[in-house]
Structure 1
Amino acid sequence: MKIFVRERNRSEEGTKRPRYRVVGVQGGDLKIYAKRIRQCELKALEAHTGAEIVYLERDGEGKEGKKKGC
């Protein structure tokens, strides 16, 4: 089983806000109801389910997926 996550735009270390966003889950019978998740919660999921956590890279610009002009 794999859990795909990426770092959020507005998250910074030390802000006490969840830093990762769950993008998807492959395999297994796992449902995640949280949109944003902390790293310690990811580690707990990994330990209990045996899942592999896959950290996705960000493009750094945030331009993909946004509408151009109105």
Structure 2
Amino acid sequence: MKIFVRERMRAEEGTKKPRFRVVGVQGGDLKIYAKRIRKVELKELAEHTGAEIVYLTRDGEGAEGKKG
């Protein structure tokens, strides 16, 4: 099983906000109801389910989703 996440732009380290957004889950029988999740919570989920965490990269610009 794999859990795909990406780091949020507005939540830097030390801001006391969840830093990651769950994008999708492959395989297994896991339902995640939270939109945003902390790294500690993510690691604990992966540990208990035997899942691998896949960190998706960002381009840093955010230009692809903008309407022009």
With structure 1 as the length reference, what TM-score do the two structures score?
A: 0.94
Which structure has the larger Rg over C-alpha atoms? 1
Is the partner of 2:30 in helix, strand or coil?
A: coil
Equivalent-residue separation in structure 2 for 1:50 and 1:61 (angstroms): 33
Q: Which runs of 4+ in 1 moved over 6 A?
A: none
Alpha-carbon shift at residue 47 of structure 1 (Å): 0.7
Aligned to 1:53: 53
Query: Over aligned residue pairs, what C-alpha RMSD do you find?
Result: 0.6
Alpha-carbon shift at residue 65 of structure 1 (Å): 1.4
Aligned length: 68
Amino acid at match of 2:30: L
Percent of residue pairs bearing the same amino acid type: 82
With structure 2 as the length reference, what TM-score do the two structures score?
A: 0.96
